[in-house]
Structure 1
Amino acid sequence: MKQSDDIKLFLKAIPNSYGQVFFSDQRLFAGILLVVTFFDLYAGVFGLLSVIITNLVGFLLGFDKKTISKGVFGFNSLLVGLGLGVYFEPSLYLVLVILMGAILTLLIAVSLQGVIGKYALPYLSIPFLLSIWVMTLATKEFTALGISERGIYTFNDLYTIGGDPLVRIYEWWNDLQLPKSLRVYFISLGAILFQYNLLSGIILSIGLLLFSRISFSLSLIGFYTAYLFYEIIGADISELSYSYIGFNYILTSIAIGGFFIIPSKRSYLWVVLLIPIVAMITISLSRVFAIFSLPIYSLPFNLVVLLFLYALKFRLRPSVKLSEVLIQHNSPEKNLYAFHNDLVRFRQHEQKPVILPFLGTWTISQGHDGEHTHKDEFRHAWDFVITNMEEKQFMGSGDLLTDYFCYDKMVLAPADGTVEFVADRIPDNVVGEVNLKENWGNTVIIKHDEHLYTSLSHLKEGSIKVKEGDTIKEGVEIGRCGNSGRSPYPHLHFQIQETPYIGSVTKEYPISYHILHHENSFDLKSFEVPGLGDQISNIERNELLYNAFHFIPGKRFHFDVILNGEQSECTWEVNTDPYNNAYIRCQQSGAMAYFVNDGNLLFFTHYSGHKKDLLYYFFMSTFQVQQGFYQDLTITDSYPLNLIFNQPLLGVQDLVAPFWKFLRSDFKCTYDWIDSDMAPTKIRLASSAKNSMAGKTVRTFEFTVVINEKGIRKLTVNSKNLKLEATCTG
């Protein structure tokens, strides 16, 4: 990595260390937090010094620089620096203590990342707690350190920093006539950064509202739940007013309600249920720690959040209504919108894809819960045949095996795996007769994963091309369709099961991507269970589409763009990040569009950058594309709301998003035209985006994508006050 890149990462780590206190990576909010820490000038200085030391030592020790740049190590040191800076008078001795505290905090954070990180748990502010307790107890013996009196002579300090105007501003804000509970809320919010004044809390609340409407609402819900609980049980409410440990309730509610858990009705309910537990832990531990003259700081928040997150990992199955965040976007709103979008688009993608075990279009003659043999524990199975336009399975009289269209056709491996069982040398039956003794006939059973096997039966005698123990790839020929076993006419019996034995109980499991054929149209099916009478096939790859959307790292595109009559140029390049996520980046604007391509479908998953960039319109126009051409096939999908709508409308949606979505943005793509079915040289896709509010359309975009032998050639966009045409020139 270049030295200039290291400097950029180091500088990026400083504001991110501030933002991480509230689980944020937003620069504006980080700037607000940084400014607020300087309301106590020396606390702000020592907090910043602690962040710089921690990040610098992390770089020097060779820890991952991109991890450091996210601020995940620095924010704990920030809190240590602020805490010590508030408590002690500034001096060279304090600088030395800050140095030791920052290094200790870093070492604890890195170690905890290894210890509890393997359980996919955050270490939260535990490094801060351990470090500041060590520093606090140790410094009781340091007579050279002077205890700060700045809290006693606040006005003198303010006058020194900003003169009489700053003193008047401070007085005006702190003399605001607010309800007692709201005043305590604001000061508790400021206390997170060791700023025990009303102005700090008000500014932080505004920053929190700008950063995340969900976090802001959760902070109020968490605090007032605790406040009400104190009132109900008769606890000393002055404890909240005196120590301002109300920040434990604020941080717990944000963490559980919207950051580590997808915001939902259920997550909000758990906030209300857990806050009284935080209150009881706060009250009890305050008494224990008073023996050692130590504040409990954020210990209750850490205990409850970690206990809850750890307990969730022992659920028998994950719940959609209370789901952990798997891909962290550092924003409750982004987590929520991405989750809802991915839930629809990729809800089955944790399952291993299983394709149809044949080429071409076959018909299901008996499906699940079939009329003849697919019953009870064997009900999740399919029988496949080939039919003609008249829906007949055979030509001529149908008395001969060779009369049947499916007889002797290739049978393919439905997924990568290992051959577990092979039964061969069972003769094919004469049409109309069955072999009840060797019921399953010639069969191949393949292991694809733990507790995931496929069984293909009634194969043609002597046609099986694999043997037990063979490792095979998806789509390779394993045999031919026959008429062995309990089979009165040629067909392929296909079932999915959890054990490797012939005649095992069947398992309900979907077929991944496949095409459902109608008389004059087609439907794309994704991870669904096809039914009786369905005529289905795997997606048959169209080479023009495949090549056009085969975005390999290093591939470049150059476009001539005409936007509302103004000409410009742009260049894109395909790349991957350190986590092997693929994306397209515009070299001029820096915009990035992330995508996944599994060989059948291309999905765009995320976009960052300006919403008037050509790459953004390409992201919208090809949000989902399957790579086979079927005339008039239509694909539908939904965009994440945060990638489509803007503030302030999106802000209103954010507030109620866990409970109700009144905004919607729908994607539709139609396979519009191809110049030749046999030897195509040009394809046109027509897509659209429809934005609606409370069911009423507020804006639509119409897109056309033209593809030829060289790949993507042209993109046109039409909408209100927008006309764009982009031609790919290389």
Structure 2
Amino acid sequence: MSVNETNESDWKLAGEALLRSYGIIYFSQSSWFGAVILLCTLAVYPIQGIIGMTGLAISLLTAIQLKLDRQLVRSGIYQFNTLLVSLTLGYFYRQGMIDTVALLVLLPCASLFTLLVTVSLSDIMYRSLGIPAISLPFVIAQTLLIFIVAPVATPASPMTSAPVSPFATNPNWELGSIPVTQHLLTILETMSAILLMPNYYIGAVIIGAMFILSRLYVFYAVLGFAVSMTVLTFLPVSLSYQQASMLAFNFAFCSLAIGGVFFIPSRHSLALAVFSTAICTLIAVVVVKIFESSGFIPIALPVNFVILLVLHAMKMRVQSGRLNLTPFMPTTPEDNFRRFSLLKLRFPEFGYPTMRCPFSGERTVTQGVDSGVTHKDDLKYAFDFEVLDREGEPRIGINDDLSDYYSFGTPILASANGTVVKVIDDVKDGEPGSQNLIDNWGNLVILAMDSGYYLMACHLQRGSVRFAEGNRVRQGDVIALCGNSGRSASPHLHVQVQTAPTVRARTVQCYLTHYYEKHGRNLTYRASGIPDEGTIVSAAVVNQHAAECFARIRDRKYRFRMEQAGRISEETITCTIDSLGHLVFTSENGDSMKASIQGHVFQVFDVRADRGVLRWLSMGLNTVPFIDNEQAFWQDKIDARQYIYPAIRWISDSLAPFWKCPTLRTTGKMSHGIPPEYANRSKVGVITTILPEIAPALLDSRKLPATITTYLSAKDWVAAMVVALDDPIVIEQMSEPDRDNIATLSAKPTPQFLGVARKRMTSPF
């Protein structure tokens, strides 16, 4: 890359980071929202706004020159604390608390100091506690400035003095013909107080922009203010009007952060937000009493204290229950809820151990989870698998010889990679109908799975175990034969995942992966699931040709031609890989989506596409298992939001967290019936049918296709796609994918990324 390209890249980075640094103060990564906040700081108090922007520029340029993580710089996480500190200095200067010389000395020093504190504290808190630093660096830097400036500050600082605002003594002041109460004006001033610019005009603009961005933003902010005012009503102490207007943003931000940013919005997060805001109100009163004599208050201390306290306490839970921490970079509450709900619906196994079928061929689940006599309490998460014929019989004929049972002597496979930690192989196989209650589990193998859990396979045939303790096994290895040892009336396999390498250890919920379920003539593929009792299951066989179509798609550019009703357009899609190994598809029109290939399944997620090729690719290839059975079908979910009428969408977005996420159901199947025009490029197709799961009257049917047929190519990935709308869309790849000049993202995870798998979370700050 040339020097000019580097400079252009740095300037582009600086522009994005500058706007996001303003927006992230209000938990937003939106550039346009950041631009609104920037203009607000310059409109009413331009000198203070310019000082804030100058300090931000110093921090931003320093971060770029120091080669700090570009993603974190771009997001504004590293700079927004410096912006707040610089606005504080601008406030001091505007109030006459410091002169020009002091400002010129303090501004660069405070900016660089805050940047260093932010970078260091973010890393320390992430590594030691697994929580974000939020705006704690701002609190530290502002507190130090208070002690520096306090000796020259006037005793009657506007932050602590008695009420002087006309609205405090005239609660029914009228704006035009509309009566506006003191509380409403305080709410407006509150939203600009974090900028050290308490002004109801600025607050009104910010509230309006927040409402456009997210209705839940405004709801939680007003809720926080209402809770705090209610709590203050019952306290024997009170705050002056200026103190309330400068500190009330703590209550709004606490409610917003807990209710919809750091936690997935729900009725339970709403209750936690109310409780946290009440605590924040009490902390704010204490902070005022402690710092009142100094003439200035570290205004963001209460909200930081409470948010960090709640986050750390919630991370110590053994199970998340109904309060779920946001497992990705938070955006708006509505978007957080949609993304999390879809992930939970589509990947229920996430966070749980998984295993493959421990057998080949078909087996019936003769006893499932939490059923029968033995699968109860601590041992409820277990499966019994047995071979049954079409009549449901486990044996041939009427004799009771073990050799007559279909299951007896069949191979038992390792369900996961791991190490053998316990083997029992000398228990005699019992006669059918008898049960050995002394050696209850019979012959068994306990495997220490690489995931950290333990898998136990029981009732094995005597002398059939093929591995000794300490041996490594790979998924699919034959470890023993099915027997009838222990408490077993007929030959079958008992398998469970547990927390310890001992017999009778507590079992844990486990998902079976990459298998078929057979119900009558219907054959359903499951990427993961918990089969019910009576279900016939079998391991899915990998279709190598389908796998080859997705084997070499990374680090390429794809050029597509899209035609609809005579209108033709072209679009370039670039595929790279991120630090977590996810495939990242980006379009030249700004659309994007991510995908992963896990367990022989290609799955799309995190779709940001509302037009162009990626929109249809994300639907047609939402889930593609690499299977060879054309009779099998699979189902999945996609977000229905962009197909809901715009007039209804805002209402749906606001109510969904307290009801359910609107989704569409997709049904897919493989097809080898390729049209002649694509036969020279494609050998396998995927047919996806889309069905609504909400009232059809809410959906714009003109935009919702009935089916999408995708023709895959081992050489070109997607050779063509047909979208069945009223005016069908035909998408074709124009040329061979280009592998040149595709830069992959860093393989090193950034310190601020807190993925679900690590049970951490990312700060929007």
TM range (shorter): 0.7 to 0.9
- Of residues 455-464 and 279-288 in structure 1, the stretch that sits farther from structure 2 once superposed is 455-464
Inter-partner Cα distance in structure 2 for 1:188 and 1:437: 71
Inter-partner Cα distance in structure 1 for 2:249 and 2:24: 15
1:515 aligns with 2:513: no
C-alpha distance 408-560 of structure 1, shift in aligned 2 (>3 A): farther
Inter-partner Cα distance in structure 1 for 2:387 and 2:713: 33
Determine the structure 2 residue equivalent to 1:659: 658
Inter-partner Cα distance in structure 2 for 1:637 and 1:301: 40
Aligned-pair distance for 1:372?
A: 7.7
Say which SS state the counterpart of residue 294 (structure 2) adopts: coil
Say which SS state the counterpart of residue 311 (structure 2) adopts: helix
Determine the structure 1 residue equivalent to 2:35: 31
Q: What is the correspondence of 1:136-285 to structure 2 with a 5 Å cutoff?
A: 136-139=146-149, 178-233=180-235, 236=238, 238-240=240-242, 243-285=245-287
Aligned-pair distance for 1:215?
A: 0.9
Determine the structure 2 residue equivalent to 1:628: 627
Determine the structure 2 residue equivalent to 1:727: 732
C-alpha distance 533-197 of structure 1, shift in aligned 2 (>3 A): closer
Aligned-pair distance for 1:632?
A: 5.3
- Of residues 225-234 and 122-131 in structure 1, the stretch that sits farther from structure 2 once superposed is 225-234
Inter-partner Cα distance in structure 2 for 1:529 and 1:50: 56
Inter-partner Cα distance in structure 2 for 1:487 and 1:245: 68
C-alpha distance 554-73 of structure 1, shift in aligned 2 (>3 A): closer
1:599 aligns with 2:603: no
Determine the structure 1 residue equivalent to 2:457: 456
After superposition, the C-alpha distances for 1:206-226 in whole angstroms (9 at most, x for unaligned) are 111122211111111112332
Say which SS state the counterpart of residue 415 (structure 1) adopts: coil
Aligned-pair distance for 1:408?
A: 3.5
Q: Is the 8 A contact 2:353 2:510 kept in 1?
A: no
After superposition, the C-alpha distances for 1:606-637 in whole angstroms (9 at most, x for unaligned) are 1224x121111110222223332545544333
Determine the structure 2 residue equivalent to 1:309: 311
Q: What is the correspondence of 1:55-204 to structure 2 with a 5 Å cutoff?
A: 55-88=60-93, 91-118=100-127, 119-139=129-149, 178-204=180-206
Inter-partner Cα distance in structure 2 for 1:552 and 1:177: 62
- Of residues 379-388 and 432-441 in structure 1, the stretch that sits farther from structure 2 once superposed is 432-441
Q: What is the correspondence of 1:536-575 to structure 2 with a 5 Å cutoff?
A: 536-550=537-551, 552-575=553-576
Aligned-pair distance for 1:527?
A: 4.8
After superposition, the C-alpha distances for 1:30-83 in whole angstroms (9 at most, x for unaligned) are 000000111211111110011011122223333222212211121111111112
Inter-partner Cα distance in structure 1 for 2:16 and 2:195: 20
Cα RMSD (Å) of the superposition? Answer: 3.5
Say which SS state the counterpart of residue 456 (structure 1) adopts: strand
Determine the structure 1 residue equivalent to 2:743: none
Q: Is the 8 A contact 1:378 1:505 kept in 2?
A: yes
Say which SS state the counterpart of residue 615 (structure 1) adopts: helix
Inter-partner Cα distance in structure 1 for 2:176 and 2:91: 19
Q: Is the 8 A contact 2:542 2:627 kept in 1?
A: yes
1:19 aligns with 2:23: yes
Inter-partner Cα distance in structure 2 for 1:440 and 1:131: 63
Aligned-pair distance for 1:438?
A: 5.5
Q: Is the 8 A contact 1:444 1:457 kept in 2?
A: yes
Q: TM-score, normalised by structure 2?
A: 0.82
Q: Is the 8 A contact 2:186 2:245 kept in 1?
A: no
Q: Is the 8 A contact 1:334 1:642 kept in 2?
A: no
- Of residues 181-190 and 588-597 in structure 1, the stretch that sits farther from structure 2 once superposed is 588-597
Inter-partner Cα distance in structure 2 for 1:542 and 1:93: 71
Q: Is the 8 A contact 1:522 1:630 kept in 2?
A: no
Partner AA of 2:92 in structure 1: Y
Q: Is the 8 A contact 2:585 2:593 kept in 1?
A: yes
Inter-partner Cα distance in structure 1 for 2:248 and 2:400: 84
Inter-partner Cα distance in structure 1 for 2:488 and 2:531: 21
Q: Is the 8 A contact 2:643 2:699 kept in 1?
A: no
Structure with greater contact order relative to length (CA < 8 Å, sep ≥ 6): 2
C-alpha distance 240-624 of structure 1, shift in aligned 2 (>3 A): farther
Q: Is the 8 A contact 1:73 1:109 kept in 2?
A: yes
Determine the structure 2 residue equivalent to 1:152: none
Say which SS state the counterpart of residue 724 (structure 2) adopts: strand
Q: Is the 8 A contact 1:18 1:30 kept in 2?
A: yes
Q: Is the 8 A contact 1:400 1:430 kept in 2?
A: yes
Aligned-pair distance for 1:242?
A: 7.0
1:703 aligns with 2:703: no
Partner AA of 2:68 in structure 1: F
Inter-partner Cα distance in structure 2 for 1:465 and 1:717: 52
Inter-partner Cα distance in structure 2 for 1:355 and 1:304: 44
Inter-partner Cα distance in structure 2 for 1:689 and 1:175: 51
Partner AA of 1:102 in structure 2: S
After superposition, the C-alpha distances for 1:377-408 in whole angstroms (9 at most, x for unaligned) are 66654433323334444446656655444344
Inter-partner Cα distance in structure 2 for 1:284 and 1:378: 50
After superposition, the C-alpha distances for 1:69-108 in whole angstroms (9 at most, x for unaligned) are 2111211111111121122167354122100110111122
Q: What is the correspondence of 1:672-687 to structure 2 with a 5 Å cutoff?
A: 673-674=671-672, 681-687=683-689
Q: What is the correspondence of 1:489-504 to structure 2 with a 5 Å cutoff?
A: 489-502=490-503
C-alpha distance 605-658 of structure 1, shift in aligned 2 (>3 A): same
After superposition, the C-alpha distances for 1:547-599 in whole angstroms (9 at most, x for unaligned) are 3344642255443321222223334333212343322233x324221112212
Q: Is the 8 A contact 2:51 2:86 kept in 1?
A: yes
* Count of matched residue pairs: 699
- Of residues 178-187 and 538-547 in structure 1, the stretch that sits farther from structure 2 once superposed is 538-547
C-alpha distance 273-368 of structure 1, shift in aligned 2 (>3 A): closer
Aligned-pair distance for 1:422?
A: 2.1
Aligned-pair distance for 1:238?
A: 4.2
Q: Is the 8 A contact 2:514 2:599 kept in 1?
A: no
1:5 aligns with 2:3: no
Aligned-pair distance for 1:196?
A: 2.8
Inter-partner Cα distance in structure 2 for 1:109 and 1:412: 51
Inter-partner Cα distance in structure 2 for 1:376 and 1:79: 54
Inter-partner Cα distance in structure 2 for 1:287 and 1:371: 63
Partner AA of 2:537 in structure 1: I
After superposition, the C-alpha distances for 1:167-188 in whole angstroms (9 at most, x for unaligned) are xxxxx98998522211121122
Partner AA of 1:714 in structure 2: A
Determine the structure 2 residue equivalent to 1:649: 648
- Of residues 265-274 and 550-559 in structure 1, the stretch that sits farther from structure 2 once superposed is 550-559
Say which SS state the counterpart of residue 636 (structure 1) adopts: strand
Q: Is the 8 A contact 1:514 1:525 kept in 2?
A: yes
Q: Is the 8 A contact 2:523 2:631 kept in 1?
A: yes
Q: Please list every run of 5 or more consecutive structure 1 residues that lacks an aligned counterpart in the other structure.
A: 150-171
After superposition, the C-alpha distances for 1:456-507 in whole angstroms (9 at most, x for unaligned) are 2343444432221112222222123344555565433333333323565655
Inter-partner Cα distance in structure 2 for 1:436 and 1:332: 55
Inter-partner Cα distance in structure 2 for 1:412 and 1:233: 67
Say which SS state the counterpart of residue 348 (structure 1) adopts: coil
Say which SS state the counterpart of residue 454 (structure 2) adopts: strand
Inter-partner Cα distance in structure 1 for 2:438 and 2:384: 20
C-alpha distance 402-302 of structure 1, shift in aligned 2 (>3 A): same
Q: Is the 8 A contact 1:412 1:475 kept in 2?
A: yes
Aligned-pair distance for 1:15?
A: 0.9
Aligned-pair distance for 1:142?
A: 7.9
Say which SS state the counterpart of residue 475 (structure 1) adopts: coil
1:716 aligns with 2:722: yes
Say which SS state the counterpart of residue 658 (structure 1) adopts: helix
Inter-partner Cα distance in structure 2 for 1:727 and 1:100: 57
Determine the structure 1 residue equivalent to 2:666: 668
C-alpha distance 693-102 of structure 1, shift in aligned 2 (>3 A): farther
Partner AA of 1:608 in structure 2: R
